[in-house]
Amino acid sequence: MVTRKLGVLTLEYVRRMGAMGVFFLKTLLYTFAPPLKISRCLKQIQFIGFQSILLIALTGGFSGMVLGFQGFYSLSRFGSDAFLGPMVGLALIKELGPVIAALMVTGRAGSAIAAEIGIMRISEQIDALELMGLNPYRYLMVPNLIAALICLPLLTALFDVVGIFGGYLIGGKLLGVGAGTYFGEMAHYVEMKDVLEGIYKSLSFGVIIAWVSCFKGYYSGIYTGFGSEGVSKATTQAVVLSSVLILVWDYFMTSILF
């Protein structure tokens, strides 16, 4: 009996993973098949990107300030506080910038995307689109994927820049590391491949956020139950799964790009 239940559960999870894979491939297919709904894309760029600027700047600034404190404390033990700039820069550009920016966007925009599409599903708005002979992927998924691909690298860059200045505010202005040392050493040690690593990561995180959020919303009536409770579960699952996937994928990307 237990084996049977385990088998049923395993099959169900394999089926869902297959559905997620097919969903992603369909979204990708329609991304490259015209026509593109440009007004929808712009609307989502405004929502995912522009409306996240303040949140990203705030979290980036404080992350950089914390790195400034912790980095100075650790490096001064070895008499290496002159390397505070490269430490803050590399930590933000290669790792913290892409990951924290992606987690912030997941919490702010990913949850909203899943909820919006979920409500459209349970109120039959997606069925209405299909009955009009229109493709829901083109109207709902593709604009979110394109917007996430455009916005995530830009938001990550903003996070990095504000974070680097946050680190300078603490290291340079408060703890006495000179601006020349801070930025000079950073320019010396941070290379273009480090910046590219951050960009590649942010692009892949954008795909994860759009993919998971849209999938959870689109299938909210089927996998999480109907009604407001179903949408609520879908939204929670979208945030949790996106966050976990971002961290797991970050490990794999780091081990490949290291």
Residues that bind other proteins (CB under 8 A): 119-120, 123-125, 127-128, 130-134
Name which of 80 and 123 has its Cβ closer to other proteins.
123
Tell me if 206 sits within 8 A of 146, measured CB to CB: no
Alpha carbon distance 103, 152 (integer Å): 11
Smallest distance, Å, CB 45 to other proteins?
A: 16
Q: For residues 120 and 157, which CB has a smaller minimum distance to other proteins in the complex?
A: 120
Tokens of 116: 């919006």
Cα dihedral value 184, 186, 187, 190, nearest 10: 160
Count CB neighbours of 19 within 10 A: 15
* Sole residue written with tokens 């912030």: 104
Q: Which of 213, 210, 211 is nearest to 21 (CA)?
A: 211
Nearer CB in complex with other proteins: 141/246: 141
Q: How far is the CB of 149 from other proteins (least distance, A)?
A: 23
DSSP secondary structure code for residue 133 in this structure: T
Nearest Cα residue to 181 out of 169, 172, 194, 170: 172
In the DSSP assignment, the letter for residue 178 is: -
User: For other proteins, which is the closer residue by CB, 39 or 255?
Assistant: 39
- By beta-carbon proximity to other proteins, the closer residue of 26 and 108 is 26
Q: Which is nearer to other proteins, 73 or 226 (CB)?
A: 226
Alpha helices in 123-226 (DSSP H): 125-131, 136, 142-168, 179-189, 192-218, 220-223
What's the min distance (Å) between Cβ of 137 and other proteins?
11
Between residues 35 and 79, which has the closer beta carbon with respect to other proteins? 35
- C-alpha atoms less than 13 angstroms from C-alpha of 133 in its C-beta half-sphere: 0
Instruction: Give Rg (Cα) of the chain.
Output: 21
